[in-house]
Amino acid sequence: MVVEAALNPILPSTGEGDRGNAYLKELLRLLEGQKVRSHSEIAGWLQELRQRAAYNVTKQRMPIRKDEEWRFTNLSDLQQHTFTAAPTVQLNAPDIELLTIPEAATSQAVFVNGRFTPELSNLTALPEGIFVGNLAQLPVEQSLKLVKYFAHIEGANEVFTALNTVGFPDVAMVWLAQDVIVEQPLHLLFVTVVEDEVILTSPRAAIIAEPSSSLEIVEHYAAVTPGCPDQTGNTPYWTNAVTEIWLEENAQINHTRNQRESGDGFHIGKTAVAQHRSSRYTCNALSLGAKLSRHNLEVWQQGEQTETTLNGLTIAGREQTADTHSLIALDFPHGKTDQLHKCVIDDTAHAIFNGKVYVPQNAQLTNAAQLNRNLLLSPKARVDTKPQLQITADNVKCTHGATISQIEADELFYLQSRGINADSARSLLLDAFAAEILNRVPILSLRKRLAQCVACRTYE
Amino acid sequence: MIKENSPVILSVRNLTANVDGTPILKGINLEIKAGEIHAIMGRNGSGKSTFSKVLAGHPDYEVTGGEIIYQGENILELEPEERALKGIFLAFQYPLEIPGVSNLDFLRVAYNSRRKHSGLEELDAFDFEDLVEEKLDVVQMKASFLNRSVNEGFSGGEKKRNEILQMALLEPTLGILDETDSGLDIDALKIVANGVNQLATEENAMVMITHYQRLLNYIEPDYVHVMRDGTIATSGGKELALELENRGYEFLDEESPETAEVSA
């Protein structure tokens, strides 16, 4: 049986004198009203989970810039808005046509304002052994197993993750059975419909890969707006997303995370990954959208000989703020991690990169590389970068670094002296900078479209 | 080769130029005709490299006086790419690395810009690859170079050979080689020099900027000019290079600039 449940309010009325928390409490009040459908067998657990998350939130406050994790990202813009809960909205196929991926036309699951929308989804190409749908559709047997995974990855108490847990309206579920290899990429499309209301959506996804299974997945955040989503001038909204990914032994996931929120949107997203022995996880995180975005990408090693590859590309222009905080927490030997995060920053935009790699005593024979490269295109563009290695193991190979550069006059001159005009030369250099990451996206049409968007964003 | 009635390709008159407000070129006069090979020598800081960059239109150098007439047209106001499209080619002393752009794509974009400018149809990737493979022989480069990023991880010799390959493709009317020989071992030098000799014709002209007489053993110049303090202090035939080799640049200091001018 599938049931629907909302939280009973647990909050006392807001007392005088805690203005700092007032905003968070308003958000809680808003989210506690959200219902979610699941099998009755797990409804009680889910209710308790949300209750506990709500309680956690009451113990915290909105991050401020004195918090080390939020030193460079100012949330006061976000807090100027009073958000309302995202309504259930009807969309038609033509509304999302531009957001689809040809290679995944028959392996696409669409979530509108966080809720699964079967009419827009097409999962006909998926082989046996993979479940894609929402929580209510997940078979009871798996729902019962979910209890030991869901919201268990470390960091679940972090304030925005907990807020999502309190208020997600649905869960995008992907469950790969043992030894199942899915050849066609799976597209999880999360669409926010931007109308007149200033809304908060809380998309949630859970991806479970059983031993020796393999999947390519595109997690895609986008908005349906009256105008071009890349432009500003639309109603603001906030996407507070959480995706949890579990790779069991020897599983492999190639995860492309494409953040293309509208230019007026706020995006705070968490990717939490648990990697068991010999599993291989690749993330291609592309951050182009939103007025303010924050991606918390956290990988927790749960067994030895794991491979983790994090590729990141941030394109920020206008007054955008684009923040990536990544963490790779190793705890077993023979781990291999490779991270390359690149940012292109134009106008008065501000990019932030903070990349932690923990290599404790247990993680002997780790091989870890991390590099952050930044290209500033205007005198007022800004980047704050903090590559951060914490090593206590004594037999490891670890490198990290950061570079900040601009397009050099000499580079332009070299190309010009070969008959290439200044604008084309500039594009060639920019394309090349972005291509190093884009070329790692395993889906050709997406790669091409992103290259066009990079071009459109950065050449004027 | 010197031919009396060849058309003039380049005529530089009283050229002066600054970088960051400091005068570097202080009145250069030079005339180059089709079919000729000129060598410009001089000590470090004499203005040789600046002169080559000013000819190609580097934006960091401000021309403060004089003119550069190329094929009858004053090109001072032209952008570097416009000069390139008209047939001026500068082989860089330090060719830049462009990570992420394949050498083949770069060569094709450059080649097609030139074709488009000449009113010819652009070559598609396949036809271009055939063409470029022919040209590879000029500098004895392997085809595998084409798939690597432009100059990225190339040795010094490979970078210079890549410059000559570009020159072979773009077929300039005026080729300027800025210290293309410096830092090369003898094998690489022979390959580069051999490439230049193949590309020099009766219709074009080459200017070799060099610090060392050694290059001139492999590419025989028609004229040698020696620069000193932003001007051409003395000019002569190839025997001047030998004299420099024997006596060093110091012999220039023995003659005062005034005397040099009078005797010229």
Give me the pLDDT at residue A228, please: 67
The helix/strand/coil state of A70 is: helix
pLDDT, mean of residues A184-200 = 95
Q: Which of A14-23, A72-81, A163-172 has the lowest mean pLDDT?
A: A14-23
Q: Is residue A226 over pLDDT 90?
A: no
DSSP letters, A276-335, are -TT-EEEEEEEE---SEEEEEEEEEE-SSS-EEEEEEEEEE-TT-EEEEEEEEE--STT-
pLDDT band at A459 (very low <50, low <70, confident <90, very high): low
Determine the distance in angstroms separating the CA of B109 from the nearest CA of chain A, rounded to an integer: 7
Q: Tokens standing for A123?
A: 């999962």
> Residue B98 and residue A432: Cβ atoms within 8 Å?
yes
pLDDT, mean of residues B91-110 = 90
Q: What residue numbers bound the domain in which A412 lies?
A: 408-460
Contacts of B154 in chain A (CB under 8 A): none
pLDDT band at A7 (very low <50, low <70, confident <90, very high): low
Give me the pLDDT at residue A40, please: 92
Q: Is residue A423 over pLDDT 90?
A: no
Overall domain count for chain A = 1
Give me the pLDDT at residue A279, please: 98
Give me the pLDDT at residue B260, please: 45
Backbone conformation region of residue B21, classed left if phi is above 0, alpha if psi is from -120 to 50, else beta: left
Whole-number Cα distances in Å, A92 to A114, A121, A133, A356, A452? 16, 11, 19, 42, 26
Q: Rounded distance, CA A388 to CA B42, Å?
A: 50
Q: Is residue B66 over pLDDT 90?
A: yes
Q: Which of A89-98, A276-285, A291-300 has the lowest mean pLDDT?
A: A89-98
Q: Rounded distance, CA B190 to CA B196, Å?
A: 10
| Dihedrals phi, psi of A410, to nearest 5 degrees | -65, -35
Determine the distance in angstroms separating the CA of A168 from the nearest CA of chain B, rounded to an integer: 41
Q: Rounded distance, CA B213 to CA A107, Å?
A: 68
The helix/strand/coil state of A389 is: strand
Contacts of A433 in chain B (CB under 8 A): 100
Helix (H) or strand (E) holding A343: strand A336-345
Q: Which of A186-190, A231-235, A408-412 has the lowest mean pLDDT?
A: A231-235
Q: Is residue A15 over pLDDT 50?
A: no
B79 and A CB contact within 8 Å: yes
> Residue A417 and residue B79: Cβ atoms within 8 Å?
no
Average pLDDT, chain B: 90
Query: For chain A, first and last CA: distance in Å?
Result: 56
> Residue B81 and residue A432: Cβ atoms within 8 Å?
no
pLDDT, mean of residues A158-172 = 96
Q: Tokens standing for A447?
A: 């790669």
Extended beta strands in A113-181, E state: 115-116, 130-134, 172-176
Q: Give which of A273, A190, A196 is closest to A235, Cα–Cα.
A: A196
> Residue A409 and residue B85: Cβ atoms within 8 Å?
no
Q: Give which of B69, B99, B38 is closest to A434, Cα–Cα.
A: B99
Reported as a single tens digit per residue, the pLDDT across A35-89 is: 899 999 999 999 999 999 999 999 999 999 899 999 999 999 999 999 999 999 9
Q: Which residue of B has its CA nearest to A436?
A: B100
Q: Is residue A17 over pLDDT 60?
A: no
Give me the pLDDT at residue A6, please: 62
Q: Is residue B264 over pLDDT 90?
A: no
Instruction: Using the Cα atoms of residue B49, residue B53, residue B59 and residue B62 in order, give the sign of their dihedral.
Output: positive
Token pair 């639309």 is found at A234
Q: Which residue of A has its CA nearest to B85?
A: A419
Contacts of B110 in chain A (CB under 8 A): 418-420
Q: Rounded distance, CA A178 to CA B92, Å?
A: 58
The helix/strand/coil state of A223 is: strand
> Residue A414 and residue B92: Cβ atoms within 8 Å?
yes
Q: Rounded distance, CA B37 to CA B209, Å?
A: 11
pLDDT, mean of residues A147-163 = 94
Q: Is residue B259 over pLDDT 90?
A: no
ipTM: 0.92
Token pair 């790969």 is found at A176
> Residue B95 and residue A410: Cβ atoms within 8 Å?
no
Q: Is residue B1 over pLDDT 80?
A: no
pLDDT band at B261 (very low <50, low <70, confident <90, very high): very low
Give me the pLDDT at residue A460, please: 47
Contact, A292 vs A266, CB < 8 A?
Answer: yes
pLDDT, mean of residues A376-385 = 95
Q: Which of residues 389-418 of A touch B (CB under 8 A)?
A: 409-411, 413-418
Whole-number Cα distances in Å, A364 to A275, A276, A281, A394, B94? 17, 16, 20, 7, 43
Reported as a single tens digit per residue, the pLDDT across A429-442 is: 888 899 889 999 99
A69 secondary structure, DSSP code: G
pLDDT band at A227 (very low <50, low <70, confident <90, very high): low
pLDDT band at A257 (very low <50, low <70, confident <90, very high): very high
- SS3 letters across chain B: CCCCCCCEEEEEEEEEEEECCEEEEEEEEEEEECCCEEEEEECCCCCHHHHHHHHHCCCCEEEEEEEEEECCEECCCCCHHHHHHCCEEEECCCCCCEEEEEHHHHHHHHHHHHHHHCCCCCCCHHHHHHHHHHHHHHHCCCHHHHHCEECCCCCHHHHHHHHHHHHHHHCCCEEEEECCCCCCCHHHHHHHHHHHHHHCCCCCEEEEECCCHHHHHCCCCCEEEEEECCEEEEEECHHHHHHHHHHCCHHHHHCCHHHHHHHC
Q: Tokens standing for A315?
A: 């394109």
Q: Which residue of A has its CA nearest to B82?
A: A419
Q: Rounded distance, CA A63 to CA A74, Å?
A: 9
Whole-number Cα distances in Å, B228 to A285, B27, B253? 56, 11, 9
Give me the pLDDT at residue A8, please: 58
Q: How many CA atoms lie within 13 A of A252 on its CB side?
A: 9
Q: Is residue A308 over pLDDT 50?
A: yes
Contacts of B58 in chain A (CB under 8 A): 413
Q: Rounded distance, CA A230 to CA A165, Å?
A: 29
Contact, B56 vs B83, CB < 8 A?
Answer: yes
A365 secondary structure, DSSP code: T
> Residue A419 and residue B110: Cβ atoms within 8 Å?
yes
Q: Which of A57-66, A165-174, A215-224 has the lowest mean pLDDT?
A: A57-66
Reported as a single tens digit per residue, the pLDDT across B131-167 is: 999 999 999 999 988 988 899 889 999 999 999 999 9
B166 and A CB contact within 8 Å: yes
Dihedral (C-alpha) B80, B82, B88, B93: value to the nearest 10 degrees?
A: 20
Q: Which of A8-22, A140-154, A295-309, B202-216 has the lowest mean pLDDT?
A: A8-22
> Residue A432 and residue B99: Cβ atoms within 8 Å?
yes
pLDDT band at B5 (very low <50, low <70, confident <90, very high): confident
Give me the pLDDT at residue B258, please: 47
Average pLDDT, chain A: 92
Q: Tokens standing for A330?
A: 């190793």
pLDDT band at A246 (very low <50, low <70, confident <90, very high): very high
Nearest to A421 among B56, B81, B101 (CB): B81
What is the CATH class of B8-263?
Answer: alpha beta
User: Is residue A378 in some structural domain?
Assistant: no
User: Is residue A276 in some structural domain?
Assistant: no
Helix (H) or strand (E) holding A37: strand A36-39
Q: Is residue B101 over pLDDT 70?
A: yes
Q: Tokens standing for A424?
A: 């084309």
Reported as a single tens digit per residue, the pLDDT across B199-226 is: 999 999 999 999 888 899 999 999 999 9
Nearest to B58 among A411, A413, A421 (CB): A413
pLDDT band at B79 (very low <50, low <70, confident <90, very high): very high
Q: Is residue A234 over pLDDT 90?
A: no
Give me the pLDDT at residue A21, please: 79
Interface test with A, best of B98, B165, B167, B176 (most A CBs within 10 A): B98
Q: Which residues pair with A172 in a beta bridge?
A: A134, A205
pLDDT band at A101 (very low <50, low <70, confident <90, very high): very high
Q: Which residue of B has its CA nearest to A438?
A: B100
Give me the pLDDT at residue B93, please: 93
